[in-house]
Copies of this chain bind each other. A is one copy, B any other.
């Protein structure tokens, strides 16, 4: 019997990741290539199709492709489009799924990366038996995927779950979409860096982080500094975790999830972000939610979470 496989495709601003994944989450062949450099989306899709054909040849067993799942910025699940994605070269509304369909005869599903991560958590991760949970991706920005009643919330026009742009302070920092005090301006890898620079400017404390430019300051340097006892790094994690925990408590009042999962670059800082977030989440919960909402890391294998999430889109439909 041939093995059933899904193709997971994650289209990031820099890299596109492609892989073949089975129902159990095993990744059989994968590669990545640069997303940029294709002014016409059709050229990009042709290269994508040839990369998939290349990967197919790497598989030494009989297989059947059951579908393609695609995670992409500003992807619209209902329409199969990528719409006004700031990080991609293609402007306007791109009928992406139908372009991919000219190369493949299987069902094609597309949504944004945070929604794909949430579906991945159900199919492969730590939310297998959960009906109500929230996934928060903490990378360059803050993305979110929300499950309620056992289904992803897409909303009226497939654009639900933009928690990175909740305004927490009308006098606050501008976020990537021009929202004053948008949550991701504080809680994300970039938000953490902004807080580091705020603290470096406000205080006269010595810090190893004074040796980095904004562009060269990577998250792991901040984690390393916190581990070395750097007070600026520790204060920045505390501030970031406090804002995250307070806002998660508000999100609980919306959909009352069983668990909230954190993933992405900032989540890799581990206890430095989880501990303050957990403390301030619990402190700010309504009485009847206290002790009932778990804050957890993703259960997907860390390295290939983007491909797994995209592939999970296929299995999630296939099971229905």
Which residues of A does B touch, CB under 8 Å? 74, 83-84, 131-132, 146, 148-149, 151, 153-163, 165-167, 170, 177-179, 246, 249-251, 253-258, 284, 286-289, 292-293
Q: Which of B131, B132, B156, B161 contacts A132 (CB 8 A)?
A: B156
| Nearest CB in chain B to that of A74: its residue | B288
Q: Considering residues A83, A153, A284, which has the most beta carbons from chain B within 10 angstroms of its beta carbon?
A: A153
A148-B160, A155-B257, A166-B253 known; 11 new pairs, CB 8 Å cut-off, are: A132-B155, A148-B151, A149-B149, A149-B154, A153-B254, A156-B292, A156-B293, A160-B256, A162-B253, A162-B286, A166-B250
Evaluate contact between B292 and A157: CB separation under 8 angstroms.
Answer: yes
The answer to whether B286 and A165 touch across the interface, beta carbons within 8 angstroms, is yes
Neighbouring B residues of A149 by C-beta, 8 Å: 148-149, 151, 153-154
Bound state CA distance, A20 and B170, in angstroms? 47
Q: Out of B163, B177, B256, which one reaches A157, CB within 8 Å?
A: B256
- Per DSSP, chain A at the interface is loop
Q: Assess whether A170 is in contact with B246, with CB atoms less than 8 Å apart.
A: yes
* Measured CA separation A160–B149 after assembly (Å): 11
Contacts A156-B131, A170-B246 given; indicate if A253 touches B148 (C-beta within 8 A). no
- Chain B residue numbers with a CB within 8 Å of A293 are 156
Whether A167 pairs with B131 at a CB distance below 8 angstroms is no
CB contacts (< 8 Å) of A289 on chain B: these are 159
Report A256 CB to chain B, min CB distance, Å.
3
Supply 24 A–B pairs (Cβ within 8 Å), ascending by A. A74-B288, A83-B288, A131-B156, A132-B156, A148-B151, A148-B153, A149-B153, A153-B254, A155-B257, A156-B256, A156-B257, A156-B292, A156-B293, A157-B288, A159-B289, A162-B256, A162-B286, A165-B253, A165-B286, A170-B246, A179-B284, A179-B286, A254-B254, A255-B255
- Contact between A148 and B155 (Cβ–Cβ < 8 Å)? yes
Residues of B contacting A83 in the complex (Cβ-Cβ under 8 angstroms): 288
Ranked 5 nearest A-B pairs via Cβ: A155-B256, A160-B256, A156-B258, A162-B253, A132-B156
Q: In the bound complex, do residue A255 and residue B146 qualify as a contact, i.e. CB atoms below 8 Å apart? A: yes
Complex Cα distance, B157 from A293, in Å, reads: 10
Given A149-B153, A287-B177, A288-B83: A160 and B246 within 8 A (CB)? no
Q: Are A254 and B156 in contact (CB under 8 A)?
A: no
Contacts of A258 in B (CB 8 A): 156
List B contacts of A151 (CB < 8 A): 148-149, 151
- Considering only CB atoms, which chain B residue lies closest to A164 in the complex? B253
A288 touches B159 (CB 8 A): yes
| Contact call B255/A160, Cβ cutoff below 8 A | yes
Question: Could you tell me the distance in whole angstroms from the C-beta of A51 to the nearest C-beta in chain B?
Answer: 30
- CB nearest to A161 among chain B residues: B254
Cβ-neighbour of A251 out of B249, B254, B256 (below 8 A): B254
Least distance between A257 CB and chain B CB atoms (Å): 6
A167 in complex: contacting residue of B165, B170, B249, B292, CB < 8 Å: B249
Bound together, the chains give a CA A285 to CA B292 distance in angstroms of 31
Give the residue among A131, A155, A170, A257 with the most B Cβ atoms within 10 A: A155
